[in-house]
Amino acid sequence: MNKFLKIILIVTINIFILVLCLFISDIIIYKHNADIFYKTNSKVYNLSKFTYQLKPKFAFDLNAIFNGTDNVYNGRLPDGTEYYDKIPITIFGCSFAHGQYLDYNQTFSYKLAHSLKRPVYNRAIPGKGLQHMLLQSRSKQFYNDVPPSDTVFYIMIKDHYKRMKVNYLHILDTYQLGNYEKKNNKLAAINYNNPLLNLLRSCYTFKLLKTKYTDAYIHNPKNADKLTDEVLLYFIETRKELEKHWNTKVKFVILGYYHIPYWDLLKSKLEQNDFIVYSINNDITAIDLYNTEGYTISETDKHPNEKAWNLITPLVIEKLNLNK
């Protein structure tokens, strides 16, 4: 072997060792923070096995959503189950739809259930968005938990654009989101079974987050079509899964909460695909609930409070003729 090839080989080996060390240290740091978080805050996940981090997949326990409690970590219990003979409603979204910081009887799902006297299954997850809606719609466990619904709500906020990609190794957010990729105009869950590919995908996703899923990228009008097309695909794929498993047509309602970039464009695309779309702060009520005093948890925390849901719920029911 000549001198040049030896140098190339030595450099290649050293790069491989460096990358491997970074990969292992990343896993150890991530696992350490995850263990601390779950020992002190929640019992939803079990990250004690090292191999679990090598195969992250979706680190989200669907079995734990309805586990006999009702809080931010485990998700909301079904509301209105006493009306078992009526057709249920299902809700997806993030902390806004979930009712973070609110008692169970202050939430949109509770008020909707008891206004309509119908069961309402609140499957919104704080800090999440479109991926967990699609993930649940493709999960057998979801259909064991949630009976066929004729109406589905998704409450959207502007952050859901940014949450369409999450880097599972480079963040300390222990609610891992899996990522989907577009194949043949469909969304396919990325396979996380190969540790080396995981590292490469993690680096690639990290680059995407630094370039394409930032506020600057999202607010650049040049990216409007691409972003809204991606959001649209999540809704189309989710509805397809729901209707296939429930064997029924679904009235799918998207409620936009406050200002969402390219809302008019997104609304137009959704409506062309038979989704029902309203802006809560324009179509449902003329009040700017996001910025009006008394309708949020606090001046700094813009989550809707009970007063906001007391106003919104009957107006949504009337708008959609849900009483009929």
Give residue 202's pLDDT: 66
pLDDT of residue 41: 36
Tokens of 144: 């064991």
Total-model pTM: 0.78
pLDDT at 229: 96
The region, left, alpha or beta by phi > 0 then psi within -120 to 50, assigned to residue 144 is alpha
Chain-centre distance of CA 115, in angstroms? 26
Q: Is 276 exposed, middle or buried (0-12, 13-18, 19+ CB in 10 A)?
A: middle
**Alpha-carbon gap, residue 298 to 173, rounded angstroms:** 24
Q: Which two tokens stand for residue 275?
A: 């989704």
pLDDT at 68: 42
* Predicted local confidence at residue 25, as pLDDT: 61
| pLDDT of res. 27 | 56
Give the Cα separation of 197 and 200 in Å (integer).
5
Q: Give the model's pLDDT for residue 56.
A: 36
pLDDT of residue 47: 30
Q: Which of 175, 153, 158, 157 is nearest to 166 (CA)?
A: 175
Q: Which residues of the chain have pLDDT under 50?
A: 30, 32-74, 170-177
The H or E element spanning position 254 is: strand 251-256
The predicted structure's pLDDT at residue 175? 40
Residues β-bridged to residue 121: 90
Tokens of 66: 């309805």
Rama region for 75: left / alpha / beta (φ>0; ψ in -120 to 50; rest):
left
Q: What is the pLDDT of residue 1?
A: 60
Backbone angles phi, psi at 189, to 5 degrees: -65, 135
